[in-house]
């Protein structure tokens, strides 16, 4: 893996032209039947899934420094898309664009569009709070609040003004069930969330994100601080969660991208180099840069 210092976007490297036409063929349009035979691992349903997220002509600047260059990408509903690429290539930046988290960073300028369904989330007048309800986020380092397990999961609903105990109880239980944590914590609801293990805390954060019933779940390296067992629990969970949610996951772990995602997008120096079906990307990528990266020959 490359260090951040080596891969800053200012590096004077030759940058391949971004592949702007890669994503619609894989995501928006059903693949021709003949191609399915080449892709034995693909669940055919992902090829015909409607588009959930669309990124169009997205450029992002931190002050005068451009971090994303004309990104065009589609994410299909009820699928998992993995963002991969060397440190500093813009994965987290793009992920944060999907729920307008970059709005919170001073000096950020964005042009282009991000649509959830048909609505452009950067349109003036968009209610950012309700947007973030539609797009839950889970971070690299689990960040439970110093509150009880119960209150962590109920947090988003309480903020929305839900007071009915029965509704809260039901939402807490079903979210913990969905996050694969219920059995481990059902008798510990009043204990501090900070008493949980790292892997449990990360699943708690997933439960907290699920409790407000989002459509999209954004995960930025959710397993990077976890051991292999906790990691495989999260990967199993992702497999279950995509039945209900659309998931975008940033990962540095190539095996994880290959195991957990339906589609993969490879970024380099702020540009989307290539995106498409994961097994195609990992077995027969179109771009040499992608191949070099996924085979560890990069740099």
Ligand X SMILES: Nc1ncnc2c1ncn2[C@@H]1O[C@H](COP(=O)(O)OP(=O)(O)OP(=O)(O)O)[C@@H](O)[C@H]1O
Contact status: 251 vs ligand X (CB under 6 A): no
Q: According to CB under 6 A, which one of 18, 88, 144, 222 is a site residue for ligand X?
A: 88
Binding site partner of 246, from Mg ion, ligand X, none, Cβ cut-off 5-8 A by kind: none
From the list 39, 61, 62, 155, which residue makes contact with ligand X (rule: CB under 6 A)?
62
Contacts of 289 (CB under 8 A, 6+ apart): 16, 266, 268, 273, 274, 298
- Asked if 67 interacts with ligand X (CB under 6 A), we say yes
CB of 250 vs Mg ion, minimal distance in Å? 6
Quick check: 75 and 94 in contact, CB under 8 A?
A: no
For residue 93, the minimal CB distance to Mg ion (Å) is: 8
DSSP bridge partners of 216? 135, 246
The one among 51, 54, 79, 92 contacting ligand X by CB under 6 A: 92
Mark the segment that binds ligand X (CB under 6 A) among 82-90, 178-186, 192-200, 286-294: 82-90
* Footprint (CB under 5 A) of Mg ion, residues 62-101: 92
**CB under 6 A: which stretch of 71-79, 84-92, 113-121, 176-184 binds ligand X?**
84-92
The stretch among 34-42, 85-93, 119-127, 232-240 that binds ligand X (CB under 6 A) is 85-93
Binding partner of residue 214 among ligand X, Mg ion, none, CB cut-off 5 to 8 Å per kind: none
Q: Report in angstroms the alpha-carbon separations of 243 from 39, 124, 215, 216.
A: 21, 32, 11, 12
Closest CA to 223 of 196, 199, 243, 195: 199
Q: Which does 44 bind (CB under 5 to 8 A by kind): Mg ion, ligand X, none?
A: none
Q: Starting from the edge strand earliest in sequence, which strands make up the sheet with 119-120, in order? A: 65-76, 51-62, 108-116, 119-120
User: By CB neighbour count within 10 A (0-12 exposed, 13-18 middle, 19+ buried), where does 189 fall?
Assistant: middle
Q: Would the CA dihedral through 272, 274, 275, 281 be positive or negative?
A: negative
Residue count at the site for Mg ion (CB under 5 A)?
1
CA-based Rg of the chain, rounded to a whole angstrom? 19
Q: Shortest distance, CB of residue 242 to ligand X, whole angstroms?
A: 22
Write down the residue that tokens 């691992």 correspond to. Answer: 41
Q: Is 200 in the site for Mg ion (CB under 5 A)?
A: no
């Amino acid at each position: 893996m490359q260090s951040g210092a080596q891969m800053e976007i200012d590096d004077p490297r030759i940058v391949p032209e971004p592949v702007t036409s890669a994503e619609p063929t894989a995501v928006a349009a059903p693949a021709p039947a003949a191609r399915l035979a080449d892709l034995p691992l693909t669940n055919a349903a992902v090829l015909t899934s409607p588009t959930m997220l669309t990124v169009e002509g997205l450029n992002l600047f931190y002050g005068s420094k451009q971090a994303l260059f004309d990104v065009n990408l589609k994410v299909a509903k009820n699928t998992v898309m993995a963002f991969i690429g060397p440190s500093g290539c813009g994965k987290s930046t793009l992920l944060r664009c999907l729920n307008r988290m970059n709005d919170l960073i001073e000096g950020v300028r964005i042009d282009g569009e991000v649509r959830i369904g048909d609505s452009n989330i950067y349109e003036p007048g968009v209610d950012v709070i309700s947007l973030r309800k539609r797009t839950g986020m889970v971070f690299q380092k689990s960040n439970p609040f110093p509150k009880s397990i119960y209150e962590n999961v109920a947090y988003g609903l309480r903020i929305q003004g839900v007071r009915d105990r029965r509704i809260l109880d039901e939402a807490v239980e079903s979210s913990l069930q969905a996050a694969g944590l219920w059995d481990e914590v059902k008798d510990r609801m009043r204990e501090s969330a900070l008493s949980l293990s790292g892997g449990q805390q990360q699943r708690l954060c997933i439960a907290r994100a699920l409790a407000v019933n989002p459509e999209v779940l954004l995960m930025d390296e959710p397993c990077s601080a976890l051991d292999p067992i906790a990691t495989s629990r999260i990967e199993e969970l992702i497999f279950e969660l995509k039945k209900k949610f659309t998931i975008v996951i940033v990962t540095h772990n190539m095996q994880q991208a290959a195991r957990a995602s339906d589609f993969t997008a490879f970024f380099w120096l702020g540009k989307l180099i290539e995106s498409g079906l994961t097994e195609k990307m990992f077995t027969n990528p179109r771009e040499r840069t992608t191949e070099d990266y996924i085979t560890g020959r990069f740099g």
